[in-house]
Chain A
Amino acid sequence: MSSKGNTSGADPSWGKRSDLEVLNRDIRRVDGPDKATGRAVYTHDVRLPNMLHAAVLMHPVPRADIRTMDISAAEALPGVVYVLRVKEDGKDVQYSGDDAVLAVVAAESPEAAMDGVRAIVVDAENKEPVVSTERAKEPDAPLVARRRRATSNITSRRARGEEDAVKAALEASAAMVEMEIEIPVQHHVCLEPHGHVVDPGGEGENATVYASTQAVSGMSGAFAGKGMLNRKASEIRALTPHMGGGFGAKFGPGLEGRLAAQIARATGRPVHLVLSRSNEFTMGGNRSGSKQSLKLGADKTGKFTAIHVVAERHGGFGGGAFPGAPYRYAVPSVFVDTMSVKTATDSSRAMRAPGHPQASFGMESVVDQIAYALKMDPVDVRKKNLTADTHHRQLDRVAQEIGWNDHPNRTAPGTPKNGRAVGIGFGVAGWSPGGRDCQCDVTVHPDGSVISATATQDLGTGARTYVAAIVAEELGLTVDQVTPRIGDSDLPPSVASGGSVTTGSSAPAIKDAAHKMREALEAKLEPVLQAPVGGYIWTGGRVHSEEDPTNSLAWTEVCALLRDPLQVSGRFQKSLYEGRIHGVQAAKVEVDTMTGRVKVLKMVAMQDQGLPLNRMALRSQINGGMIQALSYGLLERRVFDESDGYLLSDNLDLYKIAGAQEMPEMVAIIDDEDERDSVCGMAEAPIIPGQSAIANAIYNACGARLTRMPFTPDNVLEAIHGEV
């Protein structure tokens, strides 16, 4: 970094954008070559000597009494080494999910483990499944809620606001819209399923756990307990060299980690237990579904007056997530009544912006509808009710990019021509990414090598790359001169990657360590280059005194001054972080009103986050958010057979996610008017509003209001023609 404004001796700062030589540019992922050549080793790929492969037997329906389970045939199969009984005879299965795990078979090969699973004989009495929320709400439905004294499957009900006042305000409004929203359960579909390889270690050796996790720092402790490896956390090393997606589903070891640990302990052998795709759909978590009744009022200028929301969270055995109302917009008079409706299905987990895409879809749908009800431009109505200037400038820019200003139907929906109609819709997002304590060590060796180490994990965000790049920037080096070390619980502790907290926590700690290293090196330079600490410029692999640029040393010469490796430790610095971000998205769609097929033609997203550390990885993240939202809006739906309780969508044929053919033209805009001298994570925000923008675009195209996700042809035709 060459900035004079960022001299050392002062507190660390990210520095002027124009002075940056590494950050705020397109940086190639440092692990790209490993990933592109198949060299990168994920937990699923770990192969250890003497390793057992484990497979899981699950009861296929949600509720049952397990009378007996005979594992003797499985135990006798060649290649089968160990069968772990998870449900004892006489116990019940309470929901489809980890509670349905009956046994685990560990064998010499994956095929032998599956043979073992198939050879287990279960005698069970299945009970009414209670997989639909409609059934769960009926007074005579079996109770699935585990709460003491629960009398209903409706739990955690909470109302906020003066209902009578809100009703009166709605009635007095110039316009009022009412909508019933239905959103199915979505799955994370991490391409690498949940799983671990647990190596118990030999006599006197430490244990090693390879984990596909978003929280490598916590893993040693999580595997230490009695039901786990029953060892001290300090004797367990957790490693996450690479991981194949998390999206909020992969924090603790889960039941699968516990069972792998138990088998490793019992057999003394390393155990590879990674869930099958079907197991993953059944017990790997999900985004809760939602049902919302919304009423929104506005005055004749388009200013919102009041909102009334009754919302159900459909989180299966768990509570589900919903952030409340109004979502993102300012409304003076608010009544919200929220509740969980429990079913005997897998508990929802955190999923990229938990609850927010659901809330966005409800809110943006009524916001959009009220604009058309008032014959106003929906972009103008949004601006009237959004308080952040950032949202205003982003709406303008995104509207321009998607072609809104030349679009014919801006205050009323269009009509199809030859059965086809094109429309544009919008949605807004926001998030408060966290920043917490976190540590990083930077070491410089006399031979010139630099190591930047923190126990974070790279979920695909590019974290490994900025662990090196931030240090390179500070010391005037190139990214490849710094070796990043992450994904190891023995490294300085970092945070669990949830709530977009990783960058906001670890980047300041890395910057702090880099800054301290620069000062430590400058102290060594004083006798050589005759400038005080803070009087140097580091750039292009050299350092020179600020006063006299000819007085300089090359990086290797600087390092040669060291007799031993020099190590410094950095910590999270609040001054380097700010956790407040905004985004806007727009979608342009073509609706075939004869078949109900929706084709997204273009999506545009704009996003702020303070200093962009790596612009290329940032655009990847923004694209990824748009694509997951598109997939959520158009394709994704968990489906249970409601009479028997089988999960029908437990594979990638029947649970659809977006592929290459669904991809529209995509534009990811980094909001460069945001000049904050801070960093934070941003991955949640761009997944929030895309499906809302698509639904609004469908309405704008042809006047069909999609209130039920996903926007599959059947739902679209119903919105066009009414119930058929």
Chain B
Amino acid sequence: MADPQDPRPDKDAKVPALSRRSFLKGAGGVAAATGVLQGAVQATPQEGRAATLSGTVELELTINGQAKKVTCEPRTTLLSALRDRVEPALTGAKPVCDMGSCGACTVMVDGKPTYSCLTLAVQCKGKEVTTVEGFGTPENMSDVQEAFCAKDGMMCGFCTPGFVVATHACLDRNPDADLDEIKFELSGNLCRCGTYPHVFDAVQAAQAARKAGGQDR
């Protein structure tokens, strides 16, 4: 096993071949799914076992500039594909609400900030996906990542990848955003630790650095 101090998704590790993917179909499955309703509801599947539809899709996605083969299902979200189906796993985008409320899963798709929990992997065929890992590495951070470190735009850091991607998007779209516009641009991301003021500082620091002749990265 990999060094337990470094539980990074291990690229050499053998992941079990994903078995035939399947999903529930029709009334039997749905009745089973909602079998726990109020009152004394007796929910019996119409068949002995939940009926299934099966299907795997072989996809080629362009992730952080690299072509990646992904085996998934039609229902697999981009978030799930990144975290659980590409090798090595890209776990920078976080699953937090899984319904488009928090922005922790934000990635760029063709340069647009996108909630990867609300996007199907199959929709991203032929598009450029950029995750937080694609913007920089600890050794070579993007200007935005650098600004987040300089201004302490993070505490627990679980929301931070989403904010970093959203900030890149904000600065691409509106390089001169004033504070109110920055707040608007980042309003799709939630942070429970309460890093917002330092995140705003970081965005402004990155803006200032770009103005002072820093390179767009």
Distance (whole angstroms) from the CB of B195 to the closest CB of chain A: 7
- B7 interface residue, CB < 8 Å from A? yes
Kindly list chain A residues whose C-beta atoms are within 8 Å of the C-beta of B146. Answer: 36
If the complex has contacts A38-B133, A191-B96, A652-B102, are A115 and B22 also in contact, measured as CB distance less than 8 A?
Answer: yes
Contacting pair A237 B4 (CB below 8 A) = yes
On whether the beta carbons of A124 and B10 are closer than 8 Å, the reply is no
* Contact segment of A174-182, A425-433, A624-632: A624-632
Hey, which chain B residues are within 8 Å of A197, CB to CB?
A: 7
Tell me which residues from 19 to 34 in chain A have a Cβ below 8 Å from any Cβ of chain B: 26, 28-29, 31-34
Beta-carbon contact of B90 and A191 below 8 Å = no
Of the residues A31, A111, A199, A460, contact of B21 by C-beta under 8 Å? A111
Q: A38 contacts which of B92, B156, B189 (Cβ < 8 Å)?
A: B92
Q: How far, in whole Å, are A46 and B91 apart by their CA atoms in the complex?
A: 9
> Given A77-B50, A191-B156, A627-B194, A59–B75 Cβ distance below 8 Å?
no
Q: How far is the CA of A125 from the CA of B75 in the complex (A)?
A: 33
Q: Does A10 contact B (CB under 8 A)?
A: no
B145 within 8 A of A: yes
A119 touches B94 (CB 8 A): no
A208 to B5, CA, bound (A): 10
Question: How many whole Å from B53's CB to the nearest CB in chain A?
Answer: 11
B160 in the interface, Cβ–Cβ < 8 Å? Answer: yes
Q: Which residues of A contact B186 (CB under 8 A)?
A: 659-660
User: Within 8 Å of chain B (Cβ to Cβ): is A595?
Assistant: no
A36→B148 contact, CB < 8 A = yes
User: Which of B32, B48, B80, B186: most chain A CB closer than 10 A?
Assistant: B32
| Contact partner, A652, options B45, B96, B136, Cβ 8 Å | B96
**Contact among B1, B131, B135, B157 for A49, CB-based, below 8 A:** B1
Contact of B29 among A29, A42, A47, A118 (CB under 8 A): A118
Q: Verify if B57 is at the interface (C-beta below 8 Å from A).
A: no
A172 on the B face (CB < 8 A): no
Residues of B within 8 A of A119 (CB): 24, 29, 32-33, 45, 49-50
Q: How many residues of B contact A (CB 8 A)?
A: 101
Residue of A at shortest CB range from B13?
A49
Contacts of B4 in A (CB 8 A): 208, 237, 239
What is the chain B residue whose CB lies nearest that of A244? B158
Is B155 among interface residues, defined by CB-CB distance under 8 A? Answer: yes
Q: When chains A and B are docked, how far (Å) is the Cα of A72 from the Cα of B153? A: 49
Q: Which residues of A contact B155 (CB under 8 A)?
A: 460-462, 620-621, 624
A376 shortest CB reach to chain B, Å: 33
Chain A, residue nearest B87 (CB)? A47
Separation of A32 and B141 alpha carbons in the complex (Å): 11
What does the 1/0 interface line of B184-215 toward A look like (CB < 8 Å)? Answer: 10110111111111111000000000000000
Query: Which residues of B102-152 have CB atoms within 8 Å of chain A's CB atoms?
Result: 102, 104, 131-133, 135-139, 141, 145-146, 148-150, 152
Q: Does A109 contact B (CB under 8 A)?
A: yes
Query: Which of A60, A276, A659 lies in contact with B36, CB distance below 8 A?
Result: A60
Chain A residues 51 to 110 lying within 8 A of chain B, measured CB to CB, are 53, 57, 59-61, 72-74, 76-79, 102, 108-110
| Number of residue pairs spanning A and B whose beta carbons lie under 8 angstroms apart | 310
Is B217 close to A, CB under 8 A? no
Interface check B43, CB cutoff 8 A: yes
Query: In the complex, which residues of chain A have a beta carbon less than 8 angstroms from the beta carbon of B35?
Result: 120-123
Indicate whether A617 sits within 8 Å of B152 (C-beta atoms), given known contacts A244-B158, A245-B193, A659-B190: yes
Residue of B whose beta carbon sits closest to that of A653:
B101
Report the minimal beta-carbon distance from A80 to chain B, rounded to whole angstroms.
Answer: 10
Given A121-B43, A460-B155, A660-B183; A78-B52 close (CB under 8 Å): yes
Note all chain A residues with C-beta closer than 8 A to B139.
33
Measured CB to CB, the closest approach of chain A to B142, in angstroms, equals 8
Inter-chain contact A36/B80, CB cutoff 8 Å? no
User: Are B160 and A35 in contact, CB atoms less than 8 angstroms apart?
Assistant: yes
Count chain A CB atoms within 10 A of each CB in B36, B152, B194 and give the residue with the most.
Answer: B194
Residues in chain A near residue B102, CB distance under 8 A: 191, 652
| Beta-carbon contact of A37 and B92 below 8 Å | yes
* Residue from B43, B73, B97, B99 with most neighbouring chain A CB atoms (10 Å): B97
A47 to B, closest residue via Cβ? B9
Asked if B154 is an interface residue, CB under 8 A from chain A, the answer is yes
Chain A nearest CB from B193 CB (Å) reads 5
Chain B residues positioned under 8 Å from A666 (CB to CB): 197
B76 interfacial by beta-carbon distance below 8 Å: yes
Q: A41-B8, A277-B96, A660-B189 are in contact. Are A118 and B24 (CB under 8 A)?
A: yes
Question: Are A49 and B10 within 8 A (Cβ)?
Answer: yes
Interface residues of B in 68-103 (CB under 8 A from A): 73, 75-76, 80, 83-84, 89-99, 101-102
- Please determine whether B98 and A277 come into contact, CB atoms closer than 8 angstroms: yes
Partner of B91, one of A38, A79, A239: A38
Contact in complex: B152, A37 (CB < 8 Å): no
Which A residues fall within an 8 A CB radius of B?
Answer: 26, 28-29, 31-42, 44-50, 53, 57, 59-61, 72-74, 76-79, 102, 108-112, 115, 118-126, 188-192, 197, 199, 208, 210, 237, 239, 241-245, 247, 276-277, 459-462, 488, 616-617, 619-621, 623-628, 644, 646, 651-653, 657-661, 663, 666
Jot down 6 A-B pairs with beta carbons below 8 A, ordered by A.
A60-B36, A78-B20, A112-B21, A244-B158, A461-B155, A657-B190
Q: Could you list which residues of chain B lie within 8 angstroms of chain A, going by C-beta atoms?
A: 1-2, 4-10, 13-16, 18-24, 29, 32-33, 35-45, 48-50, 52, 54, 73, 75-76, 80, 83-84, 89-99, 101-102, 104, 131-133, 135-139, 141, 145-146, 148-150, 152-161, 164, 182-184, 186-187, 189-200
- Leading 8 A-B pairs by shortest Cβ distance: A38-B92, A244-B158, A460-B156, A627-B194, A35-B157, A624-B194, A460-B155, A45-B91
